[in-house]
Structure 1
Amino acid sequence: MGTKQGSKSVRQYEYGKLYRSEDKIYPREINGRFQRLRRLAVFVLLGLFYAVPWLTWNGRQAVLFDLPARKFHIFSLTLWPQDFVYLALLLIILAVSLFFFTALAGRLWCGFACPQTVWTEAFVWIEQAIEGNRSQRMKLDKRPWTLDKIWRKTAKQFLWVLLALFTGFAFVGYFVDIRELAVHLATFTAGPWEWFWVLFYGFATYGNAGFMREQVCKYMCPYARFQSAMFDKDTLIITYDEQRGEPRGARRRGSDPALKGLGDCIDCTLCVQVCPTGIDIRKGLQYECIACAACIDACDSVMDKMEYPRGLIRYSTEHSLHNEPYRLWRPRTLVYSGILMLLVTGMVSLLVFRPPVILDVIRDRNALYRDIGRDGIENSYTVRVVNKRNQAQSYRLSVTGMSGLQLRGDTLIDVAGESVQTVPVSLVAPHAVAVGGNRIEFRLDSVDDPGISVTEESRFRGPNEDTR
C-alpha cells in the first residue's frame, strides 16, 4: 500500500512539473535609447500595417492581394499566377536576410520588428495606461474584486478586443477592398467568410499578444530553438560582463566597490524586472532572450545613478568580452551576404525585364487534327493573352514553322488593362507538309508598342506518313 501511494505521488509530481502553468510576468517600464528605438519601430510598423490598405494607386487600392481575380497589386506592380517565382524568391530572400542579420546581431528581428513583439507592446501599453505601473498591476491582481478592479479589467479587455478586431479588419483589408469591407461590416451586410476571417485574425491577435505574450516566444516560435545554429563568437548579442559585475552586492551611491570586494552589479534585479520574457541575463545567454535591450537601458540607468561607467550589460560579442578582435566579415557572413546579393540581384533583374504580356497557347485536345479536304489539315487552338499593363493594348497574332501554314481567326486581339483575353483560332496546312508532329511558333506583337513581342511554341498534328 505504501509503495502504491509513493508511486502515485511521484507520478503526480512529475505531471505537475511537466504541465506547470507559467507565472504571469509584469514587465517594468523603463526609458532609454533602445526603448525609444523600440517605440519608434512599433509606431512605424503598426502605422504602416493599418494605413497601407487605405492607400490608392491609379484608382484602385495600392496594395491588394485579390485572390478571386488571381492578381496581386503592389502599387504599380501587378503579379499574376504565372509570376509565382517572384513570391518564391521573396520568401527565400526574407529567410536568408533573417539568417544574415542573426549571424551579425543575434535576435535583433525578435526584439524590434517581429509582429509578436510589436503587437504585444501595443497590448502592454494599454494595460499600463489603465492598470498602472508594475507594482500597481501586481497589487491590483492580488486585490479582491472591487468596483475599481472590475472597471479597470473590463476597460482593458474592451480596448484589447477593439484593437484585436481592428487588426483582423485591417488584415482582411489586404485581400478585399477595405473600403467596401468597412461598409459591409458597419451595415452588417458582410458575407460569412469576411466575418469569419476578421474574427479569426482578431482572436489570433488577442490570444498571441494579449493572453500568451512571452510564451509564444519561449515555447511556440521555432526561431528561438534554432537560432543558436547561426550564432558564433563574433555574433553581436546582449551580454552581462561577469568579470566586471561579480561578486554582486548592495552599496551606497558613489562608493568604490573594490574596497568592499564587490563588482559593479548592485543586485537590484532591475534587469530582470524589465525583461518581457522574465529571464535573468546575468545567468548568460538564454534562448528566451529576444534582444529587446530593455535590460541594457535599465542597467545603464542604475550605473548612471551609482556614478559607474555604462556597459555592464551591453551589446557585445564573446570575442570582445575576452579582449579578442572582432571579425565582421567571416565565412558565415560572407556566404549569407553573397547568397543574399545574388538573390536580390536576380529578383530585381527579373522584375525589370519582366514581359508586360503573357501568351498561352492550348491545343484542342478533343481532336488531334481534322482533314478538311482540299484545304488540307486543320488544328484548333485556344490563345490566351494576359495584358499586365494598366492601359489597354492591341496585339497582332502570327504563326511560323511550316510552309503554307494559314492562320484563321482573329489575328488582331484587343485586351483591356490588367485583363485576360481568350480567342479561338485554327491553323490549316497543306496535306504535303501536315505529316506527324510539326513544331510551330506563335508570335504576339504589340501594335501600340513595337518593341513588345512574345513567342510560344506549340505542335501541329497531322496523319502519320506511313498510314497515308
Structure 2
Amino acid sequence: MSEAAPEFSVIKMYAAREEIYPREIKGWYANWRWVCVWLTQLVFYGLPWLSWNGRQAILFDLGARKFYIFGVVLWPQDFIYLAALLIICAYALFLFTAVGGRLWCGYACPQTVYTEIFMWMERKIEGNRSARMRLDRQPWSLEKLARKSAKHAAWGAVALWTGFTFVGYFTPIHILWGAAGTLTLGPWEWFWVLFYAFATYGNAGWMREQVCKYMCPYARFQSSMFDQDTLIITYDQERGEPRGAWKKSGSKPAQKTVQGDCIDCTMCVQVCPTGIDIRNGLQYDCIGCAACIDACDSVMDKVGTPRGLIRYATDNAIKNHLSPRQIWQRALRPRVLVYTGILLLIVTAFLGSLVTRTPLKLDVIRDRGSMGREVEDGIIENVYRLQIMNTDERVHRYRISVSGIDSITLATPDIVELKGTEARAVPVRVRVAHGMGEKGSNRIMFKLEALDDAALQVKENAVFFVPR
C-alpha cells in the first residue's frame, strides 16, 4: 500500500492590506485632534515666512553652514546644541510615553496630522464612509473618474505645498517662491520638493495605517516604556461584557437583554484609523487617537448609559477601580520622577548654555611650515592664522592682543573688523625680543576683545616656539 502524498500549504509572511474606511466622528477628543492639526500646520507652514533682523527667522543655510533660529545663529562648532536637543526630545518621549502612552502618535505626529487632513479632503470629495465604500465597489464611470481625479489632485496640491515649505527651511523661501514661479529651481531643490511631496502623498494618502503598523519603530518598543500605571485607551470588559444588541419587544422601547453595556454596534471599530477592535485589549496598532472613545460615548448617550465604557485609564485603574484622582497620584511613580528630573536638568543646562554663550569664536592655528624664525636684531617670530567667527548679527571691531612672554608683541595690525555672522582667517605675526622666552615651546595666550563691548571677548591658548 503506497503512502499518502504529503500535503503542502502556502504560508504567507505578509497579509494583504484590507482597505480601511474610517467613519467620521465628532466629540471632545476629535476637536482636540483638529486643534493640534491647526497648531502644527500653522507653525510648519508659517514659520518660513516670518522675518527677523531683515532675514528669514528660521533658516538652516547648509551652503553657508549657518543655522538661523530667530536671534540665535548656530555654526558647525555648535553641533553640541543639536545633540542636546535630540537628547531632550528622547527623554521627553520617554516621559510622555510613561505617563500618557501614545499621545504624540494620536495628536501631533506628522503621519497622524497629514492623514487627518487627507481623509478630510477624501470625505469632502467622495462622501462619507458608506459612500466611499459604494464608490470603490462600482465599476469605473465618468463620475467615479471625476471624483477620484479631484481627490488625488487635492492631495497632490497639498503634498507639493508641503514639499515646497520643507525646502523653504533650507533655502530662503522668498527666493524659492520666485524661482518656483519661473520654474528655475536648482536640481537639489527640485529633488527635495518632489521627494518630500511624494512622501507626504504616499504616506498620508495611500499607506496611512501601514506606516504606523510596519514602518514606525515607536510602535515596536513602546511596550518597554509602558507599565501598569501608564495612561492608555482601555475597554472596560467588566462593565461591557457580555456584549450584545438591544432588542425591541412589541411597542416597547429597546431594552438590554444581556448584562453588559456594550451593544456590539462596532462603532469603535468603524472610526478607528488603523482598523483595530479596542475591545480585544491593548494592541501595538493603536495610536491613541481616542476616536473610539468619542464614538462609544456618543452611543452611550443615545442608549442612556454612563459614558466611559471606553476611556483613558490604566491597567491598575481598571482592575482596582481607581478614581481619576488616584490615577494621577499613581502617575508620580519612580520612573516618571527620574525621567522628569533628568529632563529638567538637561533642559536647564541647554537653555543656560544657549543664553550665556558668547557670540564670538576664536581658533588659533600656528604655521607648521615654520617652527620659528629669527628676523632682524635677533628677534624671534612665529606666524599664526586666527580663525575668527562673529556669530552676532551686528558689525564688530576687535582688538587682538597676545601675552605670556615678556616683550611679546604683534608685528601685524591689531584691529580687525567683521560683519555680522562673518568668519575670517586673519594671519598674524608674533615677535619676541632676543633672549626672551625658554628654548623650545612657550605657552602664550591670544585675546580678542570687541571695542564696542568689553564683555564680548574670548581667549585662546597657543604655543610660541623659540629655536634652540
TM range (shorter): over 0.9
> Residues 109-166 of structure 1, C-alpha deviation per residue, up to 9 Å, x if partnerless?
0000001111111111111110100111011000000111000001111111111111
Q: Does 1:340 pair with 2:335?
A: no
User: Which of 447, 458, 465 is 2:462 aligned to?
Assistant: 458
What is the match of residue 387 of structure 1? 390
Distance between the aligned counterparts of 1:181 and 1:375, measured in 2?
Answer: 60
Moved more, 204-213 or 421-430: 421-430
> Displacement, 1:431?
4.1
Q: Does 1:92 pair with 2:96?
A: no
Distance between the aligned counterparts of 1:137 and 1:2, measured in 2?
Answer: 53
What is the match of residue 7 of structure 2? 6
> Residues 211-262 of structure 1, C-alpha deviation per residue, up to 9 Å, x if partnerless?
11110000000000000111111111000000000000011597664xx332
> Displacement, 1:440?
0.8
Distance between the aligned counterparts of 1:175 and 1:398, measured in 2?
Answer: 38
Q: Does 1:270 pair with 2:274?
A: no
> Displacement, 1:204?
0.9
Aligned length: 456
**SS at 2:40 equivalent:** helix
Gaps of 5+ in 1: none
> Displacement, 1:313?
0.1
Q: TM-score w.r.t. structure 2 length? A: 0.95
Distance between the aligned counterparts of 2:15 and 2:135, measured in 1?
Answer: 23
> Displacement, 1:434?
5.0
Distance between the aligned counterparts of 1:408 and 1:50, measured in 2?
Answer: 53
Partner letter of residue 86 of structure 2?
A: L
> Residues 253-302 of structure 1, C-alpha deviation per residue, up to 9 Å, x if partnerless?
97664xx3320000000000000000000000000100000000000000
Moved more, 184-193 or 172-181: 184-193
Gaps of 5+ in 2: none
What is the match of residue 131 of structure 2? 136
Identity of aligned residues (%): 56
What is the match of residue 398 of structure 1? 401
What is the match of residue 447 of structure 1? 451
**SS at 1:20 equivalent:** coil
Distance between the aligned counterparts of 1:393 and 1:355, measured in 2?
Answer: 13
Q: Would the aligned equivalents of 1:375 and 1:429 in 2 still touch at CA under 8 Å?
A: no
CA 309–255 in structure 1, closer or farther in 2 if over 3 Å, else same? farther
CA 362–122 in structure 1, closer or farther in 2 if over 3 Å, else same? same
Partner letter of residue 142 of structure 1?
A: R
Q: Does 1:236 pair with 2:244?
A: no
> Displacement, 1:328?
1.7
Distance between the aligned counterparts of 1:343 and 1:87, measured in 2?
Answer: 13
Distance between the aligned counterparts of 2:74 and 2:428, measured in 1?
Answer: 27
Q: Would the aligned equivalents of 1:410 and 1:423 in 2 still touch at CA under 8 Å?
A: no
What is the match of residue 296 of structure 1? 293
> Displacement, 1:30?
0.3
CA 364–333 in structure 1, closer or farther in 2 if over 3 Å, else same? same
User: Which of 41, 44, 49 is 1:49 aligned to?
Assistant: 44
Q: Does 1:415 pair with 2:418?
A: yes
Q: State the superposition RMSD in angstroms.
A: 1.6
Q: Does 1:330 pair with 2:327?
A: no
Alignment of 1:58-457 (within 5 A): 58-252=53-247, 257=256, 260-322=257-319, 323-324=321-322, 325-326=326-327, 327-432=330-435, 433-457=437-461
User: Which of 15, 19, 25 is 1:24 aligned to?
Assistant: 19
Distance between the aligned counterparts of 2:137 and 2:185, measured in 1?
Answer: 43
Partner letter of residue 19 of structure 1?
A: Y
> Displacement, 1:461?
1.6
